[in-house]
Structure 1
Amino acid sequence: MVATTPAIGMSANSDADRRFFFAYTLFIFVTVLVGFVPHSVDLVHAVVVGHLPPIPLAIHIHAIVMGGWIILLLVQAASVATGRTALHRRLGMIAFAWIPLMVLMMVLVARSIWMMVAGLPAGAIPPDVLASTKTLLSNILIEQITAFVLFPLFALWGIAVRRSDPGAHRRLMILATLVILMAAVDRIAVRWLPTTYPASYDAQYIYALLWMAPVLIFDLVRRGRVHRVWVIGLACNLPFFVFNHFMWGSPRWLETAPIIMGLFGVSGWK
């Protein structure tokens, strides 16, 4: 495998394989657009009409960093599909800095949103809306923690095996991207699909499997079995799913989440 990259790695597989993985990264790119463009428009409108305070700078930077990863994934997949190995190698070096930057921004943006809500003046929004917002932020934190842990795990593992196991490399980079892609899938599900959200997150895990299904089916058809990376990835997600299922909305978690975010005892969060 070539130098560090969040792309579909170089491999000795057929052109059909490379075309498939490029098509799948294009599917990921479209998912991001469908999930975030309508949401962003609604968010900006809410700020303009005064229903929300100005969007923190950290959120803008977060959007640029996350979007940059998806674009880099797509460009790298295209470079493999078209045989542009030199370009693939040069662009791959970006991931060394990009992965820790993404994790940093995920943490900062989560913290920024909590602080924004905690800092709302009394009476700024109706009490019931404020309470539901705080509950939602606490519940979403479970999935954010999942991303904080699993994204760098899969991405750095993918980099580590880029030369020794190109097939695992490209799947690990996709797996890492699927972890953060759930933010877009969540928004698609809430807007257009049947969902258990916000009462529970269970339906979102079903959608996660649906979004993952094309690569699983591809491996079954081309290889006759599911690649071990997908099995390991699902196994790594299982503890988070179990925790999410039982803790989502529970009084214990709603008390614990503000402590994790450093807001225990802060008046704006009581």
Structure 2
Amino acid sequence: MASIANIGVDAGTWPPSGSPAARAIDRWIYVYMAASFIVVTLTGFIPDSIGLVADAKAGAIPPLPLVLHFHAVLMGSFLLLVLAQTTLAATGRLETHRRLGRVAMLLVPALVLVGFILVPTIYHSVWYPAQSAPQPARAELQHLLLRLDNIMLMQLRIGILFPLFIFLGLKARGKNGAFHKRMMILATATPLPAAIDRIQWLPTTLPVSPLSTDLYIVALLSPMIIWDVVRTGTINRAYLVWLGTYVAVSVAVYSAWNAGWWHAIAPRLMGV
């Protein structure tokens, strides 16, 4: 088993060197990233969830669908798993880290499946009332549907990139630890727009553009990326793979955002 001093250092590239503080950051930067993702998620979802539950109890909105609760439990479990995994690696408990990592192979497919069920469920909950609601409620619901069309673009991006990055990270496990640990963090950041967009006090470019959301993702990841560059003087391949793939898919998202042709296609994709 590797010593604690070696955890977080890329085997085969350079030996552990420098100050004790630098070596500590090498070990704990990934724990910090995982913890920061949980803070962002709680900051976005706790106030929003409290409001939704209150509205549902008051009868202002329909009861929250069961699939929404499943999604919350699965996503929370995944974030806690990533925090546990990074902590185990930082403290040298690699064998436990490897065994626990198998849980991701069950959680990730379940998350993706539930996500693809959740999207049309939410869409239908707005679409059908919008067809029969009196004015001005109908106009408000139709405007909400246009927003949901755009949100769907971001959800589709997550549905594509999240499992892809997880697959790449898990595939590198045991063969390329440097790529593996970075890609797992990058993958975990991919669904965070759902939480970021719920933080009401953050400046935003929505609904005009998702640019602000993407910039917040980059800001969240910047401590890990900047530390890597400062510590090693290079850009790890994981960042290049992540950035190239993220940008390629985002080009399609930005092209369709608020486009008339997309607003025509989106309801058909949702089966309405």
Fold equivalence (TM over 0.5) = yes
1:133 matched to 2:144: yes
Once residues 19 and 210 of structure 1 are traced to their aligned partners in structure 2, the CA distance between those partners, rounded to angstroms, is 18
1:117 matched to 2:105: no
Mapping for residues 95-110 of structure 1, pairs under 5 Å: 95-110=104-119
Which structure has more relative contact order (CA 8 Å, sep 6+)? It is 1
Rg larger in 1 or in 2?
2
Task: Work out which of the residue numbers 223, 229, 250 in structure 1 matches 2:232.
Answer: 223
1:35 matched to 2:44: yes
Matching residue of 2:258? 249
Matching residue of 2:19? none
CA distances 1:96-148 after superposition (whole Å, capped 9, x unpaired): 11111111011011121112223327227812210111111110111111011
Matching residue of 1:185? 196
Contact map agreement 2:179 2:238 (CA 8 A) in 1 = yes
Once residues 90 and 183 of structure 1 are traced to their aligned partners in structure 2, the CA distance between those partners, rounded to angstroms, is 29
In structure 1, list runs of 5 or more residues that go unmatched.
2-7, 264-270
* Further displaced range: 77-86 or 227-236: 77-86
Contact map agreement 1:9 1:162 (CA 8 A) in 2 = no
Matching residue of 2:154? 143
Task: Work out which of the residue numbers 63, 72, 87 in structure 2 matches 1:78.
Answer: 87
Which residue identity lines up with residue 48 of structure 2 in the other structure?
H
1:167 matched to 2:184: no
Contact map agreement 1:219 1:225 (CA 8 A) in 2 = yes
In structure 2, list runs of 5 or more residues that go unmatched.
2-6, 17-22
Once residues 138 and 128 of structure 2 are traced to their aligned partners in structure 1, the CA distance between those partners, rounded to angstroms, is 14
Once residues 28 and 86 of structure 1 are traced to their aligned partners in structure 2, the CA distance between those partners, rounded to angstroms, is 25
Query: Cα offset for 1:51?
Result: 2.2
Contact map agreement 1:58 1:109 (CA 8 A) in 2 = yes
Contact map agreement 1:36 1:184 (CA 8 A) in 2 = yes
Once residues 10 and 115 of structure 2 are traced to their aligned partners in structure 1, the CA distance between those partners, rounded to angstroms, is 31
Query: Cα offset for 1:239?
Result: 2.4
The alignment covers a number of residue pairs equal to 256
RMSD of aligned alpha carbons:
2.2
Contact map agreement 1:35 1:185 (CA 8 A) in 2 = yes
Matching residue of 2:169? 158
Once residues 56 and 83 of structure 2 are traced to their aligned partners in structure 1, the CA distance between those partners, rounded to angstroms, is 32
Which residue identity lines up with residue 83 of structure 1 in the other structure?
G
Once residues 244 and 10 of structure 1 are traced to their aligned partners in structure 2, the CA distance between those partners, rounded to angstroms, is 36
Which residue identity lines up with residue 162 of structure 2 in the other structure?
F
Seq. identity, % = 35
Q: TM-score, normalised by structure 2?
A: 0.88
Once residues 96 and 208 of structure 1 are traced to their aligned partners in structure 2, the CA distance between those partners, rounded to angstroms, is 24
* Further displaced range: 216-225 or 67-76: 216-225
Contact map agreement 1:9 1:169 (CA 8 A) in 2 = no
CA distances 1:150-182 after superposition (whole Å, capped 9, x unpaired): 111110111111011001001111111111112
1:24 matched to 2:24: no
- Aligned partner of residue 119 in structure 1, secondary structure: helix
Once residues 142 and 243 of structure 2 are traced to their aligned partners in structure 1, the CA distance between those partners, rounded to angstroms, is 33
Q: TM-score, normalised by structure 1?
A: 0.88
Query: Cα offset for 1:50?
Result: 2.1
Matching residue of 2:245? 236
Once residues 8 and 115 of structure 2 are traced to their aligned partners in structure 1, the CA distance between those partners, rounded to angstroms, is 25
